[in-house]
Amino acid sequence: MVIVKARPYDYQFSPEKTALIVIDMQRDFIEPGGFGETLGNNVKLLAAIVPTVKRLLDACRSAAMTIIHTREAHRPDLSDLPPAKRNRGNPKLRIGDEGAMGRILIAGEPGTDIVRSCAPLPGEIVIDKPGKGAFYATALGDILRLRGATHLLFAGVTTEVCVQTTMREANDRGYDSLLIEDATESYFPEFKRATMEMIRAQGAVVGWTATCDQLAAALHAEARTR
Ligand code: TIU
């Protein structure tokens, strides 16, 4: 059993029953010139966590955990894109439009892909999702059930949008979830801070939080007992 010094209290999991879910580490949210920047956001904030997400991926790979990557990605014919989502906020560029890195958030386009250093390795699972939550209109629930997963570790972007939505979906489905504090980021630092607090409030009402180092230390301690 791995025991992480987490907040609001220790988080315990068995690696063989745990999946790491890395949410939407996509070029269009993280790289300059992409969709995130056209929405008026400072993408440097998100780019700063890329090395930590990579370190987290490597730690979980070493522990032979299930690794799942998600992408916010729509069908090229936009048949899974609600007009409300496409039109909201009347932005300069909309989902499906031609952007600096291909059609924005469309499956198979360069900007929709995951940033190079966090790219999935062969054998890792990649889920394209049309919504903010990764359980909505995807096979994630079935995949986790087939793997016998009971615990989920979360990282990725953005903290209060796709990451928090997915953690809340997971909570209602009975998973114990840990959010890695320095492997997630928001375009709005105050929203990230608030999300950390609301997740672990009321005795982990949504889940737990810990740093990548706290998780790595717990994995090392467990590995020494084998
Ligand atoms: N992945 C994700 O969070 N998608 C978003 O649209 N996030 C924003 O913060 N806009």
- Find, among 59, 64, 58, 70, the residue nearest to 22 by Cα: 70
Q: How far is CA 193 from CA 115, 154, 166, 198, 220, in A?
A: 24, 16, 17, 9, 28
DSSP 74: B
Mutate to test the pocket of ligand 1, among 46, 86, 88, 132 (most ligand atoms within 8 A of CB): 132
**Angle at Cα 155 formed by Cα 41 and Cα 79, nearest 5°?**
65
Query: Residue 168's pLDDT is what?
Result: 98
Query: Residue 226's pLDDT is what?
Result: 83
Residues identified as active-site = 24, 129, 162
**Angle at Cα 23 formed by Cα 55 and Cα 136, nearest 5°?**
155
Partner residues linked to 98 by β-bridges:
103
- Protein residue with least CA distance to atom 4, ligand 1: 162
Query: Residue 201's pLDDT is what?
Result: 98
Q: DSSP letters along 10-38, please?
A: -EEE-GGGEEEEEE--BHHHHSTTSHHHH
Which portions of the chain are predicted below pLDDT 70?
none
Closest ligand 1 atom to residue 23 Cα is 1
Query: Residue 38's pLDDT is what?
Result: 85
- Find, among 219, 151, 220, 209, the residue nearest to 182 by Cα: 209
Q: How far is the CA of 162 from the centre of ligand 1 (A)?
A: 6
Closest ligand 1 atom to residue 156 Cα is 1
C-alpha span between 172 and 195 (Å, rounded): 17
- Give the pocket of ligand 1 (CB within 6 Å): 24, 29, 72, 157-158, 161-162, 187
Closest ligand 1 atom to residue 161 Cα is 3
DSSP 81: S
φ, ψ for residue 211, nearest 5 deg: -85, 165
Largest CA distance in the chain: 56
